[in-house]
Amino acid sequence: MKISNCPGIVFAMLLLVSTAFFSCKKNADNKLNISLHDKSLSVIQSYIQGSWKLHHELGGYCGSCIYYPKDSSFNLYLTLTPARIIFRNAARSTIDTAIEWKHVNIFGDSTFTMNFQDKNGVPIVLGAREVVNDTLALYQPGPDGMYFYYIKTN
């Protein structure tokens, strides 16, 4: 019996070889790179959950200025759940408050923003832009808004 006379066996062998080949991924292929600004609320919430440390800020009035945090920064550490946002600084001063998720249209994207208040009742709005490797990019919507880059800590 020739293998060429049994197309089912040939197909099964090709399937087995291709499955083995594609299931072996290098670590470099497992890097996370997801844009969140155009995703559903449940997808956004699942990717931003956890503990994060502020790496740097970008933007504001300057537009392209980069700011690196000092230990006294109010938002040096961030913990996110679908319902709460917690900011801590090195002195352990904490903002722990509920998130109100709002469906909005920003920069042509139908997205969701996290709306909450600081300790003084000042409203804050943040959007989740993306997660690249272990870095979460949050942004303040607006013409002079800031981008905040957080590194995953857990």
End-to-end CA, the chain: 58
CATH number of the domain that residue 88 is part of: 2.40.128
Phi, psi torsion values for 126, nearest 5 degrees? -130, 145
Question: Of 128, 132, 121, which Cα lies nearest the Cα of 102?
Answer: 128
Phi, psi torsion values for 19, nearest 5 degrees? -65, -45
Domain with 60, as residue range(s), is 33-152
Its pTM stands at: 0.75
Burial class (CB in 10 A: 0-12, 13-18, 19+), 18: exposed
Burial class (CB in 10 A: 0-12, 13-18, 19+), 42: exposed
Query: Could you tell me if residue 10 is inside a domain?
Result: no
Burial 71-98 (b: 16+ CB within 10 A, else e): eeeebbbbbbeeeebebbbeeeeebeee
**pLDDT, tens digit (0-9, with 9 covering 90-100), for 10-24:** 444 434 334 333 344
Query: Could you tell me if residue 136 is inside a domain?
Result: yes
Q: Assign 58 a pLDDT band (cuts: 50, 70, 90).
A: very high
Strand pairing report for 100-106 and 94-98: unpaired
Query: Could you tell me if residue 13 is inside a domain?
Result: no
Query: Could you tell me if residue 23 is inside a domain?
Result: no
**pLDDT, tens digit (0-9, with 9 covering 90-100), for 74-106:** 668 999 999 999 988 876 778 899 999 999 987
